[in-house]
Amino acid sequence: MRQVLLAVAAVAALASWPQGSATPPAVREVEVVAEKFKFTPERIEVNQGDLVRVTVRSADVTHGWEIKAFDVDAYARKGGRPETVEFVADRAGSFEITCSEYCGRGHKRMKGVLVVNPGGR
């Protein structure tokens, strides 16, 4: 019974997707490890329109994983639980990822990049 309900929900979701869009947004899940002084992976590549779900955890001290262009900032607490942020990559281009929590002498060079490939929407 539960599976039937899920199937109905999926059909309803597809039916409500605006006409003219070829496909619903793909969900891209990425797990990021933050440590002094790098993010792994450093580079994340998605397609324009993707729903990007990023889970960040720290391997040492407290870090942040921030993309100012998309107004997202995941707080990776020291010894704490992972934090997940979600955003739609609605613009193509290369966007800088920075650490938003001061974590030591290498903090400023703790960077990554989000590459959003242009889509046809």
Query: Which residues are at the interface with Cu ion (CB under 5 A)?
Result: 99, 103, 107, 110
Q: How far is the CB of 78 from Cu ion (least distance, A)?
A: 11
Nearer to Cu ion, 46 or 110 (CB): 110
Question: Among residues 48 and 98, whose Cβ is nearest to Cu ion?
Answer: 98
- Name all contacts of 105-112 with Cβ < 8 Å and 24+ positions apart: 106/36, 106/37, 107/37, 109/37, 110/34, 110/36, 110/37, 110/38, 110/39, 110/63, 111/39, 111/42, 112/32, 112/39, 112/41, 112/42, 112/43, 112/44, 112/65
Residue with smaller CB distance to Cu ion, 74 or 103: 103
